[in-house]
Amino acid sequence: MTDTEHYVRDDVAGFLAMLEQMGRPGVEELPVEQGRAGMRALGAIAEAEPRALAVIRDLTCPGPEGEIPLRFYDTQEERAPGPVVVFLHGGGHVIGDLEVYHSLCTEICATLDLPVMSVDYRLAPEHPFPAAPDDCEAAARWIATSPEELGREFTGLVITGDSAGGNLTIVTTHALGVEPAEVPVVLQAPIYPIAGDISQTASFRDFAEGFLLTGAAMKWFSDQYRGDPLSHRMFPLLEEAENVPPTVVITAGLDPLRDSGREYAQHLIERGVDTTYLEAQGNIHGFATLRKAMPSAQNDVGALLDAMHLLLRRHGHVA
């Protein structure tokens, strides 16, 4: 099947046509700081507006190499004990930040009615692998202690994130399965994640050009990150995970990473993990933070959050 035979939603096609007309250089053609600024600029024009919340607060937690910036969200000034969402942003381990993912975090918080903590882990190339997984694990362990600064009692962690953050979701959940934190991971929800080597997959071959995330960009991200291809902290499918919690995986149908998410979901289902797999057919990588430019993506984010709530309720973590 050729690229022209793949189903593309009308709003997705319009967005891709707009990007082509703009003639934006690929992230691999820019200095790192310009790539980061470009991701923020794209979000400013393409992402939905943030939801209003009772609590939005910046703070830090101790990390392996200094303080880790965080942003805390809640729909309520005070709440009874319950789970907390730990959000790990995308951007190839290189170009994401708290601001790019601010609106999405407010959406997660408002829809699930759960507190959310967004983690601003260290980025490559200044801080290559394993700085990102080290920071994400440290932040998750700190959040699990119900820190006094937050005035909340957390009963479990819900770990989620997109793309590179989807990879870090799986890696962090794995780490906390081997050496548990003060409260368990009760759900993980990787969003279009990398779980293994994507270079030989059909989706990488089919969608490496013309669908926002390109093969050239993926190579550039990999070169900056300098991950160990033999480590499960780079490709978590390399090692059998312990104590895997209920899981929601969502992929995009036109994404070079699609088959990695599919493979990870299939692996968990075959192991008997309570797993929900969703695919946003006709949509592209990055849709979760492009909801104004591609309004149909809001339905995909809604489906993800509905599935997360369903599994949390099924396992007795929310009413």
Catalytic positions: 163, 255, 285
Q: Are 261 and 250 in contact (CB under 8 A)?
A: yes
3: CB partners within 8 A, 6+ apart: 206, 207, 209, 210
3-state secondary structure the chain: CCHHHCCCCHHHHHHHHHHHHHCCCCHHHCCHHHHHHHHHHHHHHHCCCCCCCCEEEEEEEEECCEEEEEEEEECCCCCCCEEEEEEECCCCCCCCCCCCCHHHHHHHHHHHCCCEEEECCCCCCCCCCCHHHHHHHHHHHHHHCCCHHHCCCEEEEEEEEECHHHHHHHHHHHHHHHCCCCCCEEEEEEECCCCCCCCCCHHHHHHCCCCCCCHHHHHHHHHHHCCCCCCCCCCHHHCCCCCCCCEEEEEECCCCCHHHHHHHHHHHHHHCCCEEEEEECCCCCCHHHCCCCCCCHHHHHHHHHHHHHHHHHHCCCCC
Q: Are 10 and 293 in contact (CB under 8 A)?
A: no
